[in-house]
Structure 1
Amino acid sequence: MSRYRLIKNNIYGKIKMIPFPPRAIRHAGGSVLSALLGPTNTGKTYRAVERMLHYGAGMIGLPLRLLAREVYDKLVLKVGKQHVALLTGEERIEPLDVRFWVCTVESMPLDKKTPIVIVDEIQLALHAKRGHVFTDRILNARGTIETWFLGSDIMGDVLKRLVPTATHYRFERFSKLHYTATKRLEVLPPRSAVIAFSIGHLYSLAERIRARTGGVAIVLGALSPKARNAQVELFESGQVNHIVSTDAIGMGLNLDVRAVYFAALHKFDGQQLRALEPWELGQIAGRAGRYRKPGYFGMLQDSSEGLRDWLIESIENQHFAQAHRVYYRNSDLCFDSIVDFQHSLRDMPKTRLFQPAWNLPDERAFQGLIQEADIREKASSREGLQLLWQVSQIPDYRQDSDSDHHQFLAYVYRQLVSTQGVIASDWLRRRLKRLNRIEGRIETLLQKIAYIRTWAYIAYREHWVENPIHWRSEIADIEDRLSTTLHEQLRQNFVDDAARAKSDFIEPQGVHQKGNCALSDRGLLGEIKHLCFVPTSWALQIYGNKNLRRSVRAIVSSVVDNLRTEVASEELELFSLKSSWIYWNEHRIARISKGRTAFSPKVSIMPMDLVQEPLRGKVFRKAQMWWNECLRMLSEELDPPTESPHLSALFFELKQSLGVVSRDKINNLWSKLSREERRVLKNREIVLGRKSLYSKRIFQPHLWSTCMAIVAYQKQVSVDKLTSSVLWTEADLTKSNLGYQKVGSYWMRIDLWDRVVQEHFRDPSSLRPISWLKCDEDIWIALKEHLPVKSAQAKARRRKKNRRHRKRKQTSKKT
């Protein structure tokens, strides 16, 4: 039997991977080039992974992050986590002793030398948006010993021209595909997959299947790996018998699907509604019939479209017309100038084999960014232009409009070329906080996952953020919790657990905590937040409230024990303030609300149903004692030190305004103060500034947080961020009453305002305020435009005063 027949008939576990023919022609760099071509269910990826294991090292480029994670997990099980790296746009795991590189095709590190390099799904070189990347890898990705190209056999003719030295191997499916008549949605056979190409249509189909069969799994390209795997597990474990998916099922998902039914044959590709190519339909239909089991495909009866006879025959036989052109874009770019860069991007070899990849998202972003004068100026250097191109390549996972996406990229680039050279942590923290709320509908959670993917892409770029390890960990944690909640939402909406639940409640198994989520071996039980447990509806139906709370109390027992120990101690400094909430560590203990006066509010304990009596009462009394001590310290600073009527009236105004009072209110009182009274104010560090009379001691962190809490419960606003900010950008009417001065589009703390203005009068070119305000030079330049200018009269008075001082000094010397 020939070698070709051995490879063609190779079955998992039957025949070991045979070496390729020694007569294979080697590439100029010494690598043997091989093309493994064939339809789905031929074991190409399995052979590739086995070949990497044979060499003990290698690199594989895969089309999807989900598929890359799947191959990564398989390699980790075989060789250990310390030897496998995972590189995708939104994820980077790179241990010290890397032998195997699992990447998305865009993230392949071509400078790494490995015995074998594998590029999977090379037929995506025909994709209008991503095709140029696959073409580049076919031309340039090489292993030191072997290079494999995996994909559909429609690439055979193109590969012969792209890499004429490659040896081609054709594989046949392990099982047969058969066309079946159209089916009504209500009578779909078990283990069926329904394919739709719009989210609304997909949800509609899923709801109809759920109403008929009791449950359905959902797979979308927008799902995170964890959510996708959880949905797949519902189908694979037999909890549901149907799965509804987009064309994301067509690559790398090895499911036990017996039949695939198309709800439509057209899809919107981001620019236009187009018909799916025959090979794309074959790729999706090929998911039916794993290994030796026959598969079936057809159309839903509800669909207005149909498969023609020639197309049915092509899909059944998995024979499609050969491709003749692939997308190409030059990757050897010149960064000497913007014009040279644009010309190099358009360089094309003189061959009809390549189709130019034009109007791509990164090119549109680049063209939009260079329209900004300041960005164009920054990009005049080689380093600035390279950075601008890297920023332009940030994917638009959010599917925003071009203008919104370009505005976001412009902000990122300006921060990267600023004096700090990295994205501001405060800006990043504010945006992540919005995504850290795990509640919401399915559409909201999908949108948040898309946003978090963008931030993950940015966090994994070298030197783009401060403390990248911290941000990568936080982003991964947010994505993990969003994925858990999304899976639970999908399960609640499309899996009817209550119909299959037993009448008696059962004990949850494998209960553990991850972040703020309580999980069991069946999924999300609920959310643990501020020592309070909020169960999900399906968990209550299956396990019952009593069983759930008993299990959750067991996993938070260590936290409750720590609380009991600290409350028993004499130490009061175990609480903190955030807005009008009293916290212990990260847990809300009590809420402060409006009372008779600002200094006599109401304090109410939070539910904390995971903390039982009498500990809960002890925590409340301790929190009350701590808050009363905070009010006492603030009152001491704002109470008059003597019985002077003028000082008493002045301190009354200060106390009513929490340490910062406008000059208009106290001008008359100030003029009546004696020299001794003003000396008393100076000793108490009370200063008459340009706009206000204020106490410097109020801005100490412990007193300032108390003032913020009083404002929060008096005005019922959230001011937790102001406790440590000297410069604030968001407009809020309450800031005028919090000791902040409006400066352009910013709010500056009043004590810093006086200090900055004084320094500006002394030396307008001084940069010292930058360190005081903790801002960059660009913000300081913007602030300077709104600072008061020293008038001519003031300058004249200053010169006159200096002359009198010099004259007095000369007179004293003569005497």
Structure 2
Amino acid sequence: AARGRRAVRLLWEACQIPDFRKLATDHHTRLCARVFTHLLREGVLPQDWVAGQIGGLGRTDGDIDTLMQRLTEVRIWAYIAARADWVRDAAHWQGRAREAEDLLSDALHEKLMARFVDRRAARLTRRLEQSETAELLSAVTRAGDVVVEGHPVGRIEGFRFEPDASVGGADKRIVLRAARRALASEMPRRVARLEAAADADFALGPAGAIAWQGTPIARLRRGATLLAPAVEVIDSEFLDGSQREAVRARLARFVDGVIAEGLAPLFAATKAAETDPALRGVLHRLAEQAGVLASGGAGGELRAKLRRIGVRDGAFALYMPALLKPRAAALRAMLWSAWHRRMLPDLPPPGLVSLPAPDWPAGLASYLGWVVAGPRAIRLDIAERLAGELRHAARRRPAPAPQMLASRLGVGHEDLPAVLRGLGLRLIPGEAMEPDMFGPPRPPMIELRRPRRGPPPLPRKAARLVPPPNPDHPFAVLAALRRVAS
């Protein structure tokens, strides 16, 4: 009996232990009474009793109802263990109760999934066996989930079906069979939606993957020319030949539009050069490299014509500055990858002026608009502009090196001499004045690396060494007579 304020308060707190089982039996009443008795007599619950109760509930054997019963009971003990004034080392018992709850939750989940899968497989098998031609009740949600006869069987991504992760073994064949029947009418509708989709619904990824509504469905492949890549639809057993061709044709129109927009300056220049035979030939070669041709040197009149249509004839390349911008550069990189059937290496981020000389496939650096100069690669437009300024300044005699030259090239001072050599220039280090002279030190100078005029001098012919005559040779006598005569 509870007598006194403390006992009544303790009884009230013990009676507040929640009954998660909701069975309205005497079992919970007896538990509350025992907790109250221990607390009233001993002040805390006995360690052995708590350990036995929680340990016994941590078993994962039994059916679904048994596991659910244990799970509700262990939650009751988790509540009791949370009362630091009822148990010794409350944190320890809370952890034990949490571990038991996790074990029971996992076991219950597996049991429920097994029951669900068994029912789903049985239901689908029965419906499939009723008739090979009967239409199954199916639907595809906005998220792409495929539901057949009320059971989720997987997801459709693009035009490919991915079975539910819980399906395996013989059940997977049943689910695939049901999905094929269910998606037989869905795929034509899906193809029709793709054909009617706007270009904004498609996206061209960095690796040449073409996505529709965020799902990759095709990829770029080598086509007739660099600027006309082919489109390859990702394999799908749910698409027949005509549907696959319809998808490919729609995506090809999208890709053509992306290329026409991204490389518009190149196509405009090509059209402008149609009436000039000299320009037409140069633009044809330039188009073969998507706007950057690693060779320059056009004549003065031709150079002026090229400049009027947006083409620069530089010392390192014939190029269009508009196609070095990030968006056009990314598109050109994708076209290179499709044409050469090679994965692109990690490319530098936009805005970078220089980078360490890359270990890229041959020709890729110049194609992407980089000039490899010694240990560094300089962006083409920067290299052309700075090298042009320096050549003009040093065209007659060495000229002082501009301040912040290394910074403008994006290189360290230790790399500057080698980089300038790669750009056709030479850095003459500055020198201090003699001790008996006054004035500032001589600044570093820039001079042109002029090619040697005329053929290189021939090496001096070495004197021919004549071995001494062999005394046993038949003509040794003649040699002796010759020496006597002389």
Q: TM-score, normalised by structure 1?
A: 0.33
**Greater RCO, CA 8 A, separation 6+:** 1
Q: TM-score, normalised by structure 2?
A: 0.49
Larger Rg: 2
